């Protein structure tokens, strides 16, 4: 009996910690109302989704959408004001920031996939990246079959190497695969003629083209090798909070606001250097705007 009492007492702190954690995850709106503060996790250099401007303020396409969500939270809770607290995260710290309650929303370029959904939740995707390639405009390369026997560069550590190898085996392209230390070096190899094509997520390719001395000399081409749905990340097991965020993102899509924000960040010059990605909206995002859903294909 005494041993049982001791075990119960010893287990009590753990139970309290567990209850506290569950309460944190399940009652985001109550906590926001009590503190009158919502916390947004953002990235430092995820251009043009979430990055710092010259004043070190987080800006970008994802940030604009998240601030619209903040306005919806303020309206839902009938608060006269709602403070926004910003937390800088990296690729490795962004999920723990949400899981541990350090942030309510993560606004960057995070892909919604099955593995991550084991830890966190996602709202409706606001962007779909696809793996494509950038080539010289006069190269004659339009699609992957045009690469037969050619030199293709990928950046170290990216998943596109496997995608290219799979495509090579299926089509028998006899590709000569090269590797750049980073995206800048990979693109410079196409500029200099060391490689015929550079492949990675299309939004990164459009960014490289925008920063080139003469963007008109390069084109982004090819059928999509893969699809990456980017979405706002939030905690699991809080259906009330997720429902509010989902409703607002769906409203932004239905009312045409997401389309306007897309044009602002992907079709016009943006700070700090006035780069213009000149990136047309792909059919995946167009379809998701017409029929908003948080369901994605893994």
Is 170 a residue whose pLDDT tops 60?
no
Per DSSP, the residues of the chain read -HHHHHHHHHHHHHHHHHHHHHHHHH-HHHHHHHHTEEEEEE-SEETTTEEE-TTS-EESHHHHHHHHHHHHHHHHTT-S--EEEEEE--TTTHHHHHHTTS-SEEES--B--TTGGGTEEE-S-SEEEEEEEEEETTS---SGGGGTT-EEEEETT-THHHHHHHHHHHHT---EEEEESSHHHHHHHHHHTS-SEEEEEHHHHHHHHHHSS-GGGEEEES--S-EEEE--EEESS-HHHHHHHHHHHHHHHHTTHHHHHHHHHHSS-BTTTTB----PPPHHHHHHHHS--S----
Kindly indicate the confidence band of residue 3, based on its pLDDT and cuts at 50, 70 and 90: very low
Is-same-fold flag (2-126+231-290; 130-227)? yes
Average pLDDT over residues 27-54: 94
Kindly indicate the confidence band of residue 292, based on its pLDDT and cuts at 50, 70 and 90: very high
Is 19 a residue whose pLDDT tops 60?
no
- Residues 205-246: tens digit of each pLDDT: 999 999 899 999 999 999 998 899 999 999 999 999 999 999
Least confident of 16-25, 53-62, 154-163, 199-208: 16-25
Q: Where exactly are the structural domains of the chain?
A: 2-126+231-290, 130-227
Question: What percent of the chain clears pLDDT 70, i.e. is strictly above it?
Answer: 90
- What pLDDT, on the 0 to 100 scale, is given for residue 162? 78
- Residues 242-268: tens digit of each pLDDT: 999 999 999 999 999 999 999 999 999
> Is the Cβ–Cβ distance between 123 and 110 less than 8 Å?
no
- What pLDDT, on the 0 to 100 scale, is given for residue 1? 40
Report how far residue 235's alpha carbon sits from residue 239's, in angstroms, rounded to the nearest whole number.
Answer: 9
Query: Length of the chain in residues, anyone?
Result: 298
Is 102 a residue whose pLDDT tops 70?
yes
The topology under which CATH files domain 2-126+231-290 is: D-Maltodextrin-Binding Protein; domain 2 (3.40.190)
Least confident of 19-33, 47-61, 152-166, 186-200: 19-33
- The CATH code belonging to domain 130-227 is 3.40.190.10
- What pLDDT, on the 0 to 100 scale, is given for residue 26? 53
Report how far residue 130's alpha carbon sits from residue 282's, in angstroms, rounded to the nearest whole number.
Answer: 9
Is 128 a residue whose pLDDT tops 80?
yes
Is 105 a residue whose pLDDT tops 90?
yes
* Mean per-residue pLDDT over the chain, rounded: 89
Question: What percent of the chain clears pLDDT 90, i.e. is strictly above it?
Answer: 73
């Amino acid at each position: 009996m005494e041993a049982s009492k001791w075990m119960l007492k010893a287990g009590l702190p753990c139970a309290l910690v567990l209850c506290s954690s569950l309460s944190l995850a399940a009652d985001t709106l109550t906590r926001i109302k009590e503190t009158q503060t919502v916390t947004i996790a953002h990235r430092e250099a995820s251009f043009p989704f979430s990055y710092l401007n010259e004043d070190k303020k987080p800006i970008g396409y994802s940030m604009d959408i998240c601030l619209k969500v903040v306005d919806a939270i303020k309206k839902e809770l009938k608060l006269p004001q709602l403070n926004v607290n910003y937390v800088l995260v990296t690729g490795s710290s962004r999920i723990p920031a949400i899981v541990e309650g350090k942030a309510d929303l993560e606004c960057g370029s995070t892909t919604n996939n099955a593995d991550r959904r084991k830890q966190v939740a996602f709202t409706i995707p606001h962007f779909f990246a696809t793996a494509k390639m950038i080539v010289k405009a006069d190269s004659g390369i339009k699609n992957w079959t045009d690469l037969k026997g050619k030199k293709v560069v990928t950046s170290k550590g990216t998943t596109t190497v496997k995608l290219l190898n799979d495509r090579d085996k299926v089509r028998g392209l006899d590709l000569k695969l090269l590797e750049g230390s980073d995206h800048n070096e990979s693109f410079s190899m196409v500029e200099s003629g060391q490689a015929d094509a550079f492949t990675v997520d299309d939004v990164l390719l459009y960014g490289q083209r925008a920063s080139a001395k003469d963007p008109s000399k390069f084109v982004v081409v090819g059928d999509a090798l893969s699809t990456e749905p980017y979405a706002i990340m939030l905690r699991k097991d809080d259906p009330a909070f997720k429902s509010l965020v989902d409703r607002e993102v769906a409203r932004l899509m239905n009312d045409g606001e997401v389309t306007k924000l897309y044009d602002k960040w992907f079709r016009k010059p943006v700070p700090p250097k006035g780069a213009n990605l000149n990136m047309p909206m792909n059919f995946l995002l167009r379809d998701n705007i017409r029929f908003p859903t948080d369901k994605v294909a893994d």
